[in-house]
Amino acid sequence: MAGQIPLQLGAKKTKSQSVTEPPWVRRVLISAALLFLALFLVLPLTAIFIKAFEQGIDVYTASITHPDALSAIKLTLLVVVLTVPLNALFGVAAAWAITKFDFRGKSILVTLIDLPFAISPIIAGLVFVLLFGSTGLFGDFLFEHNIQIIFAVPGIVLATLFVTFPFVARELIPLMQAQGSAEEEASLTLGANGWKTFMRVTLPNIKWGLLYGIILCNARAIGEFGAVSVVSGHIRGLTNTMPLHIEILYNEYQFSAAFAVASLMSILAIVTLILKNIIEWKAAQREQQEDVV
Amino acid sequence: MSIQINDVSKSFGSFKVLEDISIDIPTGELVALLGPSGSGKTSLLRIISGLEEADQGAILFNGEDMTHIQTTERKVGFVFQHYALFKHMTVFENVAYGLRVRPRKERLSKVKIKEKVEELLGLVKLESLAGRYPSQLSGGQRQRVALARALAVEPKVLLLDEPFGALDAKVRKDLRRWLRRLHDEFHITSIFVTHDQEEALDVADRIVVMNDGKIQQIGTPEEVYDHPNSPFVYDFLGNVNLFHGRLENGKLVNGHAEIEASTAKESEGREAIAYVRPHDVVIERERVSKEAVPAEIVHIHVVGRTVHVELKRKDVDEFLEAELPKEQYRKLALEHGQSVFIRPGQLKVFIPEDFSI
Amino acid sequence: MKKLKLKKHSILPGFGLSLGFTTFYISLLILLPLSMIFINTASMSWQDFWTTVTEPRVMASYRLSFGASFAAASINVVFGVLIAWVLVRYSFPGKRLIDGLVDLPFALPTAVAGIALTTLYAETGWVGQFLPFRVAFTPLGITIALTFIGLPFVVRMVQPVLQSFEKETEEVSAILGATRLQTFRKVILPEIFPAALTGFALAFARALGEYGSVVFIAGNMPMRTEITPLLILTKLEQYDYAGATAIAAVMLVISFVLLLLINGLQWWTNKRIAH
């Protein structure tokens, strides 16, 4: 073992082998991980774009500018505009109540916030059918007043609200817990009122966490399929969101068109990932700065 | 087991962490590697343990070349500053770990392992805590577990990296005495890294003073404290007063003082600095020799049996610190604002290579 | 919930407003709708309920959903730990990019993932054509889709634990004579175990309820490749509201149990990191 190896080993080799793995093991492990990721992540992502352009750019543009596609895009945007701000507002309120005060039943509340993550999106859709469907709890009432929720936009919005509900709160609760209340208390003792304290002290402190939550919430709101599928009724040009439109195209064997719309959604997903990483980087930077101070 | 460190060098990129380090440590010696942070002492310890490899040079245990032997095979004990206990294991399991991971053929029986661990826990006085987890122990107790764990494999060499650095003053002192006693009992060749000169002087048989990846001096605590071979060692081991001056006729002329300096003739006329420890500054009411300079007492504070006196020289605008026993302080009847004469008792003159000091 | 009482005095304002809004919102959006499942189920006789939720087609769907979810979550534990390990411990070109890409299954709409995977693993697909056995429209295909959507959970649970792991404990282990494999098994694995288990539970819970990525690749043949969420939807489309609700109630109870389990596991993991 103590062979007469030349003493000059080079500066690169700093750690001895007993606390890391031999180079061949490292190479094998890295290759296995990369192969798995290539097969499961990179390949599907690439396939979407290749399939989208398989029949040429004209088919692609025609697919994404088709009136049904455009109305699906519009509906998806509408759903996002309605659901994300509401859930962001809820997230901030819930995080404020949970992290700044001590009260009975707090842990139950925290568990309830997590609930939609554990529930199948199909059930999330089903519960609204049971409430507002024609045979549902409010079915007769809605019918009499000629209000349509299921198989209409309100149902889609409600189902999306349900599934995207925890994202912002889940990001803010641990963040605000870690930050404590000392700054808010200082602000109040200096004479600022509650609203000013929130706007000038709390909000700047949580802005990255809030944005992070909003981005995740947004991504899920755009892409939600199962829950929306139950309540939408798949009426073309009326209650089809982008994922539902993709499903219809795919089932009608219009693969290129399906992948064309899918490629748009993939671009959104990639943008989401990039934004997410930028925010993580910013938040890490901020933490480092605080450590220095 | 004796340890020989032969011409060990290591660098990260262009930064030299260690430069031509050679130390011979006979069996059973307790050696302190003393130096400021970044002096390379921890790197040297890690190279001895095999956790890191040197770029150059060799490590020998009992004359046997260990340079390319894996950490796992070196049979050293290592104690980290932050204990590095296994959090998910009890105290007992932590201590037993080294015995349990041996290859089946060399492994002791379960009963033997239990006996041995209990014996070690007795040695570190933690028998009653065998079932606890590290998170339930105090810092001092954790470090004792770490020591017992290191000793379990019967290492021939014990390496300790700032073993008391994370502990508070009182515990640190107790544990240091305890380590000394332990060493006297078992005679394991031990090397410990510290930046605390008091700790090194208190515990070690020999001190290796390091700075900038180089050895400054090796010697017994008395040698390095009383006869430092460089301004750095003088400065690092205890407080020191500086007398800047010029060498004239074998004397260091500094303000009104002419201090006897035994330096070579060639140094005539050069700038030099005399280093004097506070307890070597003699305070007198009258000027009895040419070396004495007038000074005024600025501040006096008594710490136990020792009295620290701060003085301002009258000839040059410099402050000095003197240290004397309480009896002598009483005899001299010193008081604040008083004019006295001071002279260096024992001193060492260094001629700076450059005048950066 | 009515007796919410401020336990500790606080000078911060907005307690009533924030808690009031939170409870109102949760009650209206989560509790009221979910209670419908139990209200509707309660109106069934026990006999009817039991027959509905245990009929062969439903039982087959449970077996498939649980089996495929378990298999997918297990694959994710193995590769999740591997990916987290490689990302934390080794350096290689493109590491940052890959680290960011791990979250793709969270960002990519499930329907998009579904059609992409189906296209790849169909008999004529890029991957499918090279495989000697069928993947799409079999339980194997379902497992692949569920592996995809559960991929980030284990990685993101294990990664921070590995990052905060003290290198020194590994060094001590080596010095005490342990081989690298022994160090991994006895020192590293116990530390990442709670996190990996939490990741497994999260991936499993997500897979049980997953619909979008599975429907395309499953083939949806009753008794063979029909997952439970799809069965609920099928019953709903056949206006069998009672049947759909009864099966949903079973799924919901399982979800509650999993959620409690996950919360417990997370608490365990955090305790480990905090030390």
- pLDDT the model gives residue A107: 86
- pLDDT the model gives residue C165: 86
Per CB-CB distance under 8 Å, the chain A contacts of C210 are: 120, 226
CATH topology of domain A57-291: MetI-like fold (1.10.3720)
Whether residue B57 lies within 8 A of chain A, CB to CB, comes out as yes
Whether residue C270 lies within 8 A of chain B, CB to CB, comes out as no
Identify any residues that bridge with B281 across adjacent strands, giving them in sequence order. B344
Give Cα B11 to chain centroid, integer Å.
Answer: 23
Dump the DSSP string for C87-116: HHH---TTHHHHHHHTTHHHHS-HHHHHHH
With an 8 Å Cβ cutoff, are B101 and C175 in contact?
no
34-53 in chain B: CB under 8 A from chain C:
49-51
Q: How far is A11 from chain B (nearest CA, A)?
A: 6
Reported confidence tier of residue B284, pLDDT bands at 50, 70, 90: confident
- pLDDT the model gives residue A291: 66
- pLDDT the model gives residue A17: 56
Domain boundaries along the sequence of chain A:
57-291
ipTM associated with this complex: 0.89
Interface test with chain A among B17, B51, B61, by most A beta carbons within 10 Å: B51
Whether residue B105 lies within 8 A of chain C, CB to CB, comes out as no
Q: What CA–CA distances, in Å, run from C123 to B182, C71, C126?
A: 73, 22, 9
B202-206, B280-284, C102-106: the lowest-pLDDT one: B280-284
Name the residue of chain B whose CA is nearest to C275's CA: B135
Size of the B and C interface in Cβ pairs below 8 Å: 69
Whether residue C208 lies within 8 A of chain A, CB to CB, comes out as yes
258-317 in chain B: CB under 8 A from chain C:
none
Dump the DSSP string for B240-281: -EEEEEEEETTEEEETTEEEE----GGGTT-EEEEEE-GGGE
Per CB-CB distance under 8 Å, the chain A contacts of B72 are: 18
Per CB-CB distance under 8 Å, the chain B contacts of A18 are: 50-51, 70-72
User: Which tokens is A278 given?
Assistant: 């930028």
Identify any residues that bridge with B208 across adjacent strands, giving them in sequence order. B33, B218
With an 8 Å Cβ cutoff, are B70 and A9 in contact?
no
With an 8 Å Cβ cutoff, are C232 and A33 in contact?
no
Q: Which CATH superfamily groups domain C65-274?
A: MetI-like (1.10.3720.10)
Whether residue B70 lies within 8 A of chain A, CB to CB, comes out as yes
If you average pLDDT over every residue of chain B, what do you get? 88
> Rg (Cα) of chain C, in Å, rounded?
23
- pLDDT the model gives residue A58: 92
pLDDT single digits (tens) A118-133: 899 999 999 999 999 8
Name the residue of chain B whose CA is nearest to A4's CA: B68
With an 8 Å Cβ cutoff, are A115 and C259 in contact?
yes
Amino acid at C221: M
Cβ atoms C261, C186 nearer than 8 A? no
Which residues in chain B belong to E strands, given as ranges? 3-12, 15-25, 30-34, 56-61, 64-65, 76-79, 157-161, 189-194, 206-211, 214-219, 241-248, 251-254, 257-260, 271-276, 281-284, 293-303, 306-313, 319-325, 339-344, 348-350
- pLDDT the model gives residue A2: 36
Whether residue A15 lies within 8 A of chain B, CB to CB, comes out as yes
Using CB atoms within 10 A of its CB, is residue C192 exposed (0-12), middle (13-18) or buried (19+)?
Answer: buried
Per CB-CB distance under 8 Å, the chain C contacts of B77 are: 175
Reported confidence tier of residue C1, pLDDT bands at 50, 70, 90: very low
Whether residue A12 lies within 8 A of chain B, CB to CB, comes out as no
- Report pTM: 0.85
Of C171, C177, C275, the CB nearest to B135: C275
B2-11, B211-220, B292-301: the lowest-pLDDT one: B292-301
If you average pLDDT over every residue of chain C, what do you get? 90
Whether residue B67 lies within 8 A of chain A, CB to CB, comes out as yes
Which has the closest alpha carbon to C233: C248, C219, C223, C218? C248
Average pLDDT over residues A63-82: 94
φ/ψ (deg, to 5) at A149: -110, -55
φ/ψ (deg, to 5) at C180: -60, -35
Q: How far is C222 from chain A (nearest CA, A)?
A: 18
- pLDDT the model gives residue C9: 64
Interface test with chain A among C10, C69, C108, C165, by most A beta carbons within 10 Å: C108
CATH topology of domain B241-356: OB fold (Dihydrolipoamide Acetyltransferase, E2P) (2.40.50)
Per CB-CB distance under 8 Å, the chain B contacts of A2 are: 65-69
Reported confidence tier of residue B354, pLDDT bands at 50, 70, 90: very low
212-251 in chain C: CB under 8 A from chain B:
none
Share of chain A above pLDDT 70, in %: 92
pLDDT single digits (tens) C36-51: 999 999 988 999 999 9
Whether residue B108 lies within 8 A of chain C, CB to CB, comes out as no
Whether residue C269 lies within 8 A of chain B, CB to CB, comes out as no
CATH 3.40.50.720 fits B3-236, yes or no: no
Whether residue B12 lies within 8 A of chain A, CB to CB, comes out as yes
Q: How far is C171 from chain B (nearest CA, A)?
A: 7
With an 8 Å Cβ cutoff, are B68 and A3 in contact?
yes
- Cα torsion through C155, C160, C163, C169, rounded to 10: -100
Domain boundaries along the sequence of chain B:
3-236, 241-356
Whether residue A19 lies within 8 A of chain B, CB to CB, comes out as yes
Whether residue A279 lies within 8 A of chain C, CB to CB, comes out as no
Higher pLDDT residue, B12 or A10? B12
Cβ atoms A154, A128 nearer than 8 A? no
Q: Which DSSP state fits A137? A: T
pLDDT single digits (tens) A9-42: 333 344 555 678 888 999 999 999 999 999 999 9
Of B78, B85, B134, the CB nearest to C175: B78
Cβ atoms A130, A138 nearer than 8 A? no
In chain A, helix, strand, coil percent, each to 5?
75, 0, 20
Average pLDDT over residues A50-75: 93
Of B52, B57, B69, the CB nearest to A14: B52
Reported confidence tier of residue C274, pLDDT bands at 50, 70, 90: low
Q: What CA–CA distances, in Å, run from B149 to A213, B98, C175, C176?
A: 46, 7, 11, 8
- pLDDT the model gives residue B345: 81
Average pLDDT over residues A129-158: 89
Whether residue A22 lies within 8 A of chain B, CB to CB, comes out as no
